[in-house]
Each structure stands twice: as structure tokens, then as C-alpha cells.
Chain A
């Protein structure tokens, strides 16, 4: 367990370094939902190449890391209904809120954005409540 915190901290520093490079280099906020969403709805057409290349980096690097570290465990459910509902909620929610864990959480809170803090409080509360009800009340997940 203790080693997990250290990996968490190291991984976190790498995530933040990525965000810092993106901000200082391209002047943009590294928010995963915004980068993907702009491609999906066409609002980011003028920066489409940059977005696709960024996502390719996110996709490829874990495959390289897996050659050196045992990190292939995802524990993802294979319940299709659960995946579809979760995916829809994440897609709709992040676009309506205009950000997710990376944009509002990492990038927003680190510049002391009140919107970042409020979004983070609400998605963590909603996630915690969802877990409490589905796991401990209903025993579904």
C-alpha cells in the first residue's frame, strides 16, 4: 500500500509536468475531456492535429511503460450496461461542466480557480455517493 502512494506521487508529478509543458509550450490547458470533445463536436477543428497527436502520446506511452512495469491490471468491468451508462454520463457531464479531473482538477485548482475547486468537490461527492449506494446499499458493484 505504501509503495502505491510513492508511485502515485511520481505519476502525479509526471502528469503535472505534461500539463506544464502543454501550457508553457502551446499556451493551452491540458484537459482530456476538452481535447477529445473539441475533436468530437468540431469546435477544435483548427487545432485538430495537435489534439490527435497529444492523444496518440497518451495512448502509446502506457504500452511502452508496460514493457518495464507490471501495470496491465485495469479491473474494468465487462458489464456492457454499466460501461455504456458510465461512458454516457462521463461524456455528457464533462462537456456540460467544461472539464474533468485533468482540466478542472489538476489545471484549474493549481491556478486557484474557484470553478476548478467547485467542479472537483461536486464530482468527488457524486462519485463517492455513487460508490456508497451501488456498493454498500445495493451491492451491485
Chain B
């Protein structure tokens, strides 16, 4: 059952990403390009996506997931170095190629070799992340 739900959720996610145009890196870079031909599409995608999600969070209160277990607890609201530095690094990469992880997977099937190169580098980056975090710990402690 969990696998069926994962497939349906993934299909909605992938379908939404391509229909919204987020697999087109020019639209993502256009959103970030405030000093050029600014493209507001991404704000509509974000806003649209937050509507069903906000309803789902509201509905989840006092309930349990369909397949059992429990809903993810609210994270500790601490805003450490990792959140800020990690997000800045991610944002730089996002702007540089116009891709974030979801749309990269969604366009992997039709985007050609460039997408595979980006994904390979992203996976290496994910593997290297703990090492980078340790290196940062030696310079600036996390908290």
C-alpha cells in the first residue's frame, strides 16, 4: 500500500513539474533573474502547491496516516548554520543551472546527456555533504 501511494504521489509530482514548466530551466532562471526579463511563473507554482499541502497539514491534526505510524513532528525551530549555509549553496547551484532535485528527475527521461551529468554531480555532492559539514565544523561550530 505504501508503495502504491508513493507511486501516485510521485506521478502527481512529476506531472505537476512538467505541466507547470519547471522542467524548463529558462523559466526557473527567469524567476531568479530580477534584473532581466523577470518571469513570475514559479511564484504561481509555489503558491498553487501550498494550497493542497496546507489543507493536508490541517487535516492531519489529531489523525494518523492512512498506512499507520504517525505524522512527522514539527522540527525544532532552530535556525543553525547548516540551514543557512546549505540553502545558500543550494541556491547558487539552482541559479547556475536552473535545476533543483525534483525537476532534474522529472526531465531526466527527455533532457539528454546534460541532465545525467547534473544528476551524477548532484549524487556525488549528496555523498560528500557529511564531509563538507565536518570541514565546516572545524571553522565555525554548527550552533
Contact = CB atoms under 8 A, between A and B. Distances in A.
Contacts of B84: 97, 118, 122
Interface in A86-105: 86-98, 100-102, 104-105
A141 B98 CA distance: 11
Interface residues of A, number: 108
Interface string A13-40: 1111111111111111110110011001
Interface in B8-44: 8-27, 29, 32-36, 39-44
Contacts of B45: 8-9, 11-12, 15
Residue in A4, A66, A89 whose Cβ sees the most chain B Cβ within 10 Å? A89
Contacts of A20: 52-53, 55-56
SS class, residues of chain A in contact with chain B: helix
Nearest to A15: B16
B83 A123 contact: no
B16 A126 contact: no
SS class, residues of chain B in contact with chain A: helix
Contacts of B34: 128, 131-132
Interface string A102-129: 1011110111011100111011111111
A63 B98 contact: no
A120 to B, nearest CB: 8
B85 to A, nearest CB: 6
Nearest to B1: A25
Nearest to B59: A24
Return the 10 tightest CB-CB contacts between A and B, nearest first.
A91-B125, A11-B20, A12-B48, A57-B10, A87-B121, A97-B86, A126-B91, A89-B93, A18-B12, A93-B90
